[in-house]
Amino acid sequence: MEPTYGDYDRDSVRGIDALRSALRDIHECDEYQEVVEKVAELFMNGHEGSSGYLSFGNNKIAKNVAIFNMNSATDCPNADTKACQVPWSDCYAHKAENQYDAPLASRRRQEYLWDCLDSETFARAFVRVIERKNNTVDAIRFSEAGDFRHDGDIIKVNNIAKMLEKHDIDVYTYSASYQLSWNEATHFTVNQSNDFADYGDRLFTAVQSDEELPENMVWCAYDVSDGEHKCGDCKLCINDEGPDVAVELH
Ligand code: SF4
């Protein structure tokens, strides 16, 4: 499937009506705390026909890190452009969306939910989710698939990060959206994935070999430990200070 850059028919997204119905129920709540609890429920368990809208860990990310996508890879603003380091045919997030129906529909519903929630409700519901979990969650990564679309995404994530700081939760992302106003990102860590502008806390890039590794750059811990140290165990990209990070160019 070719990139859409966000131009797709929302009404045709599988499960969108069930999400809209869940959001209408939330809108009718009289008490704000009830709104927060219901959004937390959506984050944890979703609605009829969906799973939860937050995930925790995967093969590269430890379970103490939550993941929320603001859009899909198919709709990514940087798909198949010079800003993205990965050729479109190699984008692993897009491959999953191409191969199966569920990931694309789920990420498009995530985008819809993201656009419907204000930052305070997002942050409060997130805190309720992690209070209910058995294991510690101390970080959230935005956009494992897709990327920041406009300055509003940066401002919203920043507001969420500011609120989550009080709960000792780190917020971080990787982005190739170099043209946006990243000076608004004062409360979360940005790993910039191209060098078209100086916009993040560090550069996260692909390097061919040890010989080509610049002095101020270290190899990704996950790569050099053969997957033993996951993101979340390793905090190199989560902390706002520290060296640039490289993954091996395949
Ligand atoms: S350096 Fe650490 S935090 Fe960054 S991608 Fe690798 S394992 Fe994850």
Q: Which of 198, 205, 233, 202 has its CA nearest to residue 219? A: 205
Q: Is any ligand 1 atom within 6 A of the Cβ of residue 236?
A: yes
Q: How far is the CA of 226 from the centre of ligand 1 (A)?
A: 12
- Does the reported pTM lie above 0.85? yes
* Bridge partners, residue 56, by sequence: 66
Quick one: pLDDT at residue 101? 85
**Tokens standing for 204?**
């996260």
Q: Could you tell which of 171, 219, 220 is best to mutate to test the pocket of ligand 1, judged by most ligand atoms within 8 Å of the CB?
A: 220
Q: Are 53 and 46 in contact (CB under 8 A)?
A: yes
Report the atom number in ligand 1 closest to the C-alpha of 61.
8
pLDDT in tens, 105-157: 999 999 999 999 999 999 999 999 999 999 999 999 999 999 999 999 999 99
Gap between the Cα atoms of 65 and 238, Å rounded: 10
pLDDT recorded at residue 230: 97
Nearest Cα neighbor of 141 from 55, 202, 219, 73 is: 55
Distances (CA, A) of 183 to 25, 187, 215: 37, 10, 26
Nearest CA to ligand 1 atom 4: 237
- 32-45 vs 119-132: helix axis angle to the nearest 10? 60
Residue 191 CA: nearest ligand 1 atom is 4
**pLDDT by residue (tens digit) across 80-107?**
999 998 889 989 899 999 988 899 999 9
